[in-house]
Amino acid sequence: MAFLDLDGLRFHVQRLAPGDGGPPAATAVLLHGLLTDSLASHYFTLAPALAAAGVEVLMYDQRGHGRSERPADGYRLDDFVDDLAGLLDRLAPDGPVQLVGNSFGGTVAYGLAARRPDRVAGILAIESEPASPAWAEKLDGILRRAEAELADESALAWVAAERGAHTARLARSAGRLLAGTSLARDIPASTLPTPAELGTIGCPVLAVYGTESDLAEQAARLEALLPRCRSAFVPGQEHSVLVEAPDTVLDLTLAWLREHGARLRGPAARAGQDLHGSLR
């Protein structure tokens, strides 16, 4: 475990070197989602296998989440993008990095690519979308409902009974985050990039969706907006693709890295070699 101070906030950061001790085939920065998420969702899915394939992996708990510091305010999208830019400036990976963002983590990745294209070699966005007025309106509704429901002891008891103690602990932590910070109000009030600004994102993008997710319907619009965007669909999955189908997401990630020049190594490197046909 390591901690890094960025602009007065303490962040929990994990860095996995290539498993064979060789030079990195690529650097991947793994970005998690909101509320119940943390870098643990990547640590127990993608991260070890990517490192075993020769990839340098960076991941961190976003502000307010996991073991990172939880300020009372400062949760607009630009704050999260600032954190990512500061992390990359401090750790100085060699050249542009691949950003792998789950849910809100993908939104942060799009934000950095629009602001600092020199830092981003590519984006793999899992069940995610760039910030937009529709995104802000949707997040406003989701966060307001979560704020009310996670303050209700009967709702938390239902989570414990139906989803187990671990999920209940995550829900309680999310409730404390919402009750003790301005996150639920800050994110919907974020400064939003314009379609023209998003259209300048010139790096390759792979957008991964569950076929049963409501986000899947945006695939064609995103491909029209971003000049180098393609889509991949995981059958039978909803929003929790990373957790519910980690092997498929890993295979897609390895295939994506290989396609964009990473000379992967080790047994894990063979995964995903035949998946290019699943990319639209």
- Do 269 and 219 share a domain, yes or no? yes
Of the two residues 154 and 54, the one the predictor is more confident about is 54
Residues 221 and 181 in one domain: no
Q: The whole model's pTM is what?
A: 0.94
The DSSP H or E segment spanning 142 is helix 133-149
137 & 248 share domain: no
pLDDT band at 170; cut points 50, 70, 90: confident
Domain match, 175 and 217 both: no
Q: Specify whether 113 is located in the same domain as 152.
A: no
Residues 161 and 200 in one domain: no
Q: Do 43 and 59 belong together in one domain?
A: yes
Are 209 and 272 part of one and the same domain? yes
User: β-strand 120-126 against 97-102: which pairing, if any?
Assistant: parallel
Express each pLDDT in 219-240 by its tens digit: 999 999 999 999 999 999 999 9
DSSP classification of residue 193? P
> Do residues 159 and 272 share a domain?
no
Closest Cα partner for 16 from 38, 31, 1? Answer: 1
Q: What total number of domains does the chain contain?
A: 2
Q: What is the pLDDT of residues 20-59, one digit of tens each?
A: 999 999 999 999 999 989 999 999 999 999 999 999 999 9
Strands (E), the chain: 2-6, 9-16, 26-31, 55-60, 97-102, 120-126, 205-210, 229-234
Domain of 208 in residue numbering reads as 2-131+195-278
Both structure tokens of 148: 């009310």
In angstroms, rounded to a whole number, what is the distance separating the alpha carbons of residues 263 and 20?
13
What phi, psi does 162 have (nearest 5°)? -90, -30
Residues 11, 34 share a domain: yes
Say which residue the tokens 């995981």 belong to. 234
pLDDT interval class at 184 (50, 70, 90): very high
CB neighbours of residue 176 within 10 Å: 14
Q: State the pLDDT at residue 93.
A: 78
In one-letter notation, the amino acid at residue 185 is R
